[in-house]
Amino acid sequence: MKKLILITSLAMMTLLTGCAKKNAHYYAKKQGLDFGFAVTSADILQEPNMTIVKENATMVVSENNMKNANIHPSKKFWNWSDTDHLIEFAKQNDISVKFHTLFWHQQNAPFILNLSTKEEALAAMDEHIEKIMSHYKGQIKVYDVVNEMFNEDGSLRQSLWYNLIGPEYLEHALIKARQCDPDVKLYFNEYNNENLGYAKSEGMYNLVKDFKARGIPIDGIGMQLHLDGTQPLNEDAIRANIRRYAELGLEVSFSEVDVRIPKDNPEAWEQAQQEVYCTLLKIALEEPNVKSFIMWGYSDNGSWVPGTFPGYGNALPFDFNRQPKPVWNAMLDILKNYKVK
Ligand code: 9MR
């Protein structure tokens, strides 16, 4: 009997300490910053992934499942199940969802690649927006309406949408999206657009400034921030860029953060990497129009980085075995203790 009481009270204590456990989810909510990761289907189905996401994210995005080729792989077939599962998981765990992405030049279904006229392209765009936004009405907080629409020199990328429709495909998508759901935030998302003065940053700023002046509905822009940890962050240039979006009344998302370092000698770069992560997090907490801080995954196990940047890796705050690194503890400490003036 005594043994039973002891076991029961131990179980109760574990339950209570478990409940009282304070983690990034708890502190990010307190700070009012949407914080989280890009996740895969496995992350919401298997441990320890699920627990890491539940305990630490207040916002998730799907790394691949919401992209055209996956959610609408053929003209007549919509593959809702992966995204439905993610949204259900998010709901159960008090996590909001960012949709990535309605339109992009990559990961398009064959029937999209075969579109050949402007009319067909506009009809395909409209159908994509209508179907997705009605299916997920009330369940998505932010949409990446268009992803990566610029070249490095700040000119518009010749994507299939641009080639068939012309530059007006961008405003067409926003207007249609706003008609379909007035309650979500509509973003454009891009990489290498964080530093004031860089051609691509200027391209993005000038585009959305013109949209605001003409009443085209846009609520924010994403700065992906796939960064090289061996390069120092230009904090002033990033803050100045964020502030001019604030002046336009636009939000900013740090939307795909990862900080890669050389794989052959990571120890030599870990401090520099931590500096980059922590500075970015402080900027996100301090600049009122930065609404989210999302990392492109959480563990080095599964990161896209080594496959794309040979010799680089270790870009995320949990190691290959999904154990938190010192950089994660430093970020947690900021989320916990950092007081925004
Ligand atoms: O991480 C994604 C990877 O698994 C896919 O193979 C790849 C397809 O091109 O897309 C990656 O995610 C990208 C994101 O959608 C847009 N910004 C750059 C990301 C890394 O390539």
Could you say which of 63, 148, 194, 251 is catalytic?
Answer: 148
Burial (CB < 10 A; 0-12, 13-18, 19+), residue 193, is buried
Query: Which of 61, 62, 63, 105 to probe ligand 1 with, by most ligand atoms within 8 A of CB?
Result: 63
197 in helix, strand or coil?
Answer: coil
- In angstroms, the CA 118 to CA 103 distance is 15
Q: How far is the CA of 19 from the centre of ligand 1 (A)?
A: 35
Instruction: Verify whether residue 256 is a known catalytic residue.
Output: yes
For 7, the 3-state DSSP assignment is helix
DSSP characters over 225-247: -EEETTS---HHHHHHHHHHHHH
Angle between helices 199-213 and 169-180 (to 10 degrees): 50
Residue 120 bears catalytic tag? no
For the whole prediction, is pTM greater than 0.75? Answer: yes
Give the residue, out of 41, 64, 299, with the most ligand 1 atoms within 8 A of its beta carbon, to mutate for a pocket test. Answer: 64
Which amino acid residue places its CA nearest to atom 1 of ligand 1? 304
For ligand 1, the distance from its centroid to the CA atom of residue 63, given in whole angstroms, is 7
Instruction: Show the ligand 1 pocket: residues with CB < 6 angstroms.
Output: 63-64, 106-107, 147, 224, 256, 304
Q: Tens-of-pLDDT digits for all 341 residues of the chain?
A: 455 554 455 445 444 444 446 899 999 999 999 999 999 999 999 999 999 999 999 999 999 999 999 999 999 999 999 999 999 999 999 999 999 999 999 999 999 999 999 999 999 999 999 999 999 999 999 999 999 999 999 999 999 999 999 999 999 999 999 999 999 999 999 999 999 999 999 999 999 999 999 999 999 999 999 999 999 999 999 999 999 999 999 999 999 999 999 999 999 999 999 999 999 999 999 999 999 999 999 999 999 999 999 999 999 999 999 999 999 999 999 999 998 85
Tell me the per-residue pLDDT of 242-252, one tens digit each, with 9 for 90 and over: 999 999 999 99
Whole-number Å distance between alpha carbons of 198 and 335: 30
Residue range 288-313, pLDDT digits in tens: 999 999 999 999 999 999 999 999 99
**In 252-273, which positions are buried (b, 16+ CB within 10 angstroms) versus exposed (e)?**
bbbbbbbbbbbbeebeebbebb
Q: Which domains does the chain have, with CATH numbers?
A: 25-337 (3.20.20.80)
Residue 274 CB contacts under 8 Å (≥ 6 apart), including other chains = 326, 327, 330
Which atom of ligand 1 lies at the shortest distance from residue 38's CA? 1
Catalytic residue among 190, 194, 251, 256: 256
